[in-house]
């Protein structure tokens, strides 16, 4: 009985000391040590993590308040050598939604987004140091087949984009310049046979456009020709 009483005293003392050490500031007013904040006027945890003189360190956990219970919505693991954090977002079921790196609120580098109710990758995309899309962005069907293959420059569609059917058949290709149609444009039927082709110039149809039926040319029109 005496040992039980001593154990209870130790546990209570440790709990009190831990609570006293939470949410502290250093001499310069910077957050320092372990922090844990609740949603306003509740006892439900909103986030928890540690600071080193104002700098986030280690693992932070962020929660949603669902039915007055904390449900994990994201984790951030901070790098001591830079401002980047490895981030994972979660659904309320605990399933992973997406993962990648962030600097502040900006996505940086490669990000992966997963299909709903599946571990299958839905989207792979790249972000530059400004947090905007840069380079190739791939979207996948649930079976793993590429649905869309697009190129970006500073957050804008730039270069050739392609769209595919679930069986891998090419359905459409288009060329963009800074988010506008500019260059070759083609569509295909469900068998992958050419259906239409033409050109865009600064988001406007131009030059020669052709229409096909079962692969045979049935119409041709020069949009630049006057009269």
Instruction: Compute the distance between CA of residue 215 and CA of residue 92 in angstroms, rounded to an integer.
Output: 49
Confidence of residue 15 (pLDDT cuts 50, 70, 90): very low
pLDDT at residue 122 above 70? yes
pLDDT of residue 21: 86
Q: How far is CA 102 from CA 1, 86, 130, 131, in A?
A: 53, 7, 11, 8
The pLDDT value given to residue 100: 98
How would you classify the pairing of strands 121-127 and 106-114?
antiparallel
Residues 116-126, mean pLDDT to the nearest whole number: 96
The H or E element that residue 210 is part of is: strand 204-213
User: pLDDT for 164-196, tens place per residue?
Assistant: 999 999 999 999 999 999 999 999 999 999 999
pTM over 0.85: yes
How far, CA to CA in Å, does 104 sit from each of 31, 56, 82, 83?
17, 11, 11, 8
Asked if pLDDT for residue 64 goes beyond 90, the answer is yes
């Amino acid at each position: 009985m005496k040992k039980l009483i001593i154990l209870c005293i130790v546990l209570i003392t440790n709990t009190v000391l831990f609570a006293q050490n939470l949410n502290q500031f250093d001499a310069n007013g910077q957050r320092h040590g372990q922090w844990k904040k609740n949603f306003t006027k509740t006892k439900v945890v909103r986030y928890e993590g540690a600071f080193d003189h104002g700098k986030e360190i280690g693992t932070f956990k962020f929660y949603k308040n669902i039915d007055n219970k904390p449900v994990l919505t994201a984790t951030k693991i901070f790098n001591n050598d830079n401002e980047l954090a490895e981030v994972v977002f979660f659904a309320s079921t605990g399933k992973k939604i997406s993962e990648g790196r962030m600097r502040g609120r900006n996505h940086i580098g490669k990000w992966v987004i997963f299909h709903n109710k599946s571990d299958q990758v839905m989207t792979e995309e790249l972000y530059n140091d400004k947090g905007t899309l840069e380079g190739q962005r791939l979207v996948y069907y649930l079976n793993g087949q590429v649905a869309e293959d697009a190129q970006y420059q500073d957050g804008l569609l730039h270069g050739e984009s392609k769209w595919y059917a679930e069986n891998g058949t090419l359905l459409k290709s288009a060329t963009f310049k800074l988010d506008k149609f500019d260059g070759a444009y083609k569509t295909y039927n469900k068998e992958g046979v050419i259906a239409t082709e033409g050109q865009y110039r600064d988001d406007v149809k131009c030059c020669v456009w052709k229409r096909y039926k079962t692969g045979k040319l049935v119409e041709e029109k020069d949009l630049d020709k006057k009269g």
